[in-house]
Amino acid sequence: METFDYIIIGAGSAGCVLARRLSDNPAIRVLLLEAGPPADKFWVRTPAGMAKLYFHDKLNWNYFTEPMPEMLNRRMYWPRGKGLGGSSAINGMVYIRGHRQDFDTWRALGNPGWGFDDVLPYFKRMEHFERGGDAYRGQDGPLWISDPVIRHPASADFVAAAERHGIPRTDDMNGALHDGVGFMQHNIKHGRRHSAWMAYVEPVAQRPNLVVRTGCMVQRIVFDGRMATGVSVISGGETRVLQATREVIVSAGAVNSPQLLMLSGIGPGEELQRFGISPVALSPGVGGNLQDHFYVHTSYRSTRDSSYNHEITGARKYWTGLRYLLTRSGYLALGSSQVAAFVKSRPEEDHADLQISFRPMSFTYHGNGLVEVDREPSIAASVYRLRPAVSGTVRLRSLDPLQPPLLQPEFLTHQGDIDAVISGLRQIRRILATEPLASRVVAEILPGSEVQSDAALLDYLRQHGNSAMHPSGTCKMGSDPLGVVDERLRVRGVERLRVVDASIMPHVTSGNTNAPTMMIAEKGADMILHDAVAHCPRQAA
């Protein structure tokens, strides 16, 4: 039986950080398991290749929600990364930490050590910020963070138009001023995607004390009583048990981490009973508190010089591709959105509860997952509510870990969420109707100028709303009865088992979730090393 000190389940945004930090000590033997394949492909490393990965048959779990009554019984597509780097290998590469208040709220909910001042050093430790370090930013970390290589004039005009509506300009949304409008930063290094795998593990993959295995699906965590001692995996059609003498760490993400805990006997009693799973520890919060950002897209026909659609479609896309191959610059080196505005849906909000993103190009999202750049000159903006009022669930579909779980996000079931997103749509319209941006707009395509009333806009949300790919919270950290892990990310009710990924967030952060997920792993690695238990000679059951 193979034995390691630590077994990490999932080589995504959190798992890669953990593998690097734990294996920094050559005396510690680390195993990093990934269900998917290696992700060393041209379109993975090329920033604009994200559209080709959105429905990839090998690098994406390609999940769907259950039918949602409030959304015309639609089954919404939920892409999740599957492969080295996880979702950081297929996402839009946007780097947003979130608002200071997000983390102070985590601390106030009974999680000491998780306030903004506590986590800031970990954000800084992971960053190599292109502009240099300061009180808020790091420069010596492994993760490269850059500004857009092209600042399109239409994007600059969006910032100027938003300022005219009283939204303050910020030169660094990850610095002193989060709420405001400005250019986004991305995990892009010299024109190439810098995923968690590329930043953290690829440079040290030859370490003798670090073993990385792809194509390994973990069936369950193995226990001796209430002590986690290893994992049972399926690899190459065979089932094997691997032993962890110190800890098993679950970093499979907000969908798969609760699924694995339940399959291993940790979860709500009724869910375990429904599938005849012998309980190891009853934990009613597992799979609950599913939070995500409900996202809605708008697009506008524009003047030709306001959009770069023509640069990445038709015959010109070959010139753009050649430019990228020769220089690693141009439009193929850009992330998903250029500019963001963090704004309030209503004056009573304490701080911004909406994120509006703008891009000087547009695409059509097809129901089968295909994303296609529009051929006509167009620009686009999207909005989502940062702090949703409701949460959903992840539940088991089958005892087979290869079967997708049941996803029920409960979108559009709370009037506050609906009102906030509709406010965001109206704010997008006001900004795009303001100079210097207004003269770039020819016509509104989506939702369409005829869609004006709240009822009509709600119908649009039901038909066109989607996930922003930010699921979180399903193994939440907390001291209340629904808390799955404690403030040191240890699973309550068992020993030598932690969850370290976006699923531990008590509330989803105010923005894209990749950066805070990696921060969680940076902090989690320090906790694991500090709490290291003595070598245990027990064999897995």
> What is d(CA 224, CA 56) in angstroms, rounded to the nearest whole number?
39
End-to-end CA distance of the chain: 12
Asked if residues 495 and 209 have their Cβ atoms less than 8 Å apart, the reply is no
> How far apart, in whole angstroms, are the C-alpha atoms of residue 128 and residue 126?
7
Catalytic residue of the set 414, 470, 507, 530: 470
Neighbours of 459 (CB within 10 A): 14
80, 63 in Cβ contact below 8 A? yes
Cα separation of 81 and 44, whole Å? Answer: 11
Helices (H), 382-453: 415-432
Question: What are the backbone angles phi and psi of residue 504, rounded to the nearest 5°?
Answer: -85, -5
Phi–psi pair at 46, nearest 5 degrees: -85, 120
Phi-psi region of 5 (alpha: psi -120 to 50; beta: other; left: phi over 0): alpha
Is 470 in the active site? Answer: yes
Backbone angles phi, psi at 372, to 5 degrees: -125, 125
CA 334 to chain centre: 18
CA 21 to CA 190: how far, in whole Å? Answer: 24
Joined tokens for residue 330: 């141009």
The whole-angstrom separation of Cα 480 and Cα 486 is: 10
Amino acid code (one letter) for 168: P
What is d(CA 39, CA 30) in angstroms, rounded to the nearest whole number? 21
- For residue 13, the cross-strand partners are none
Catalytic residues: 470
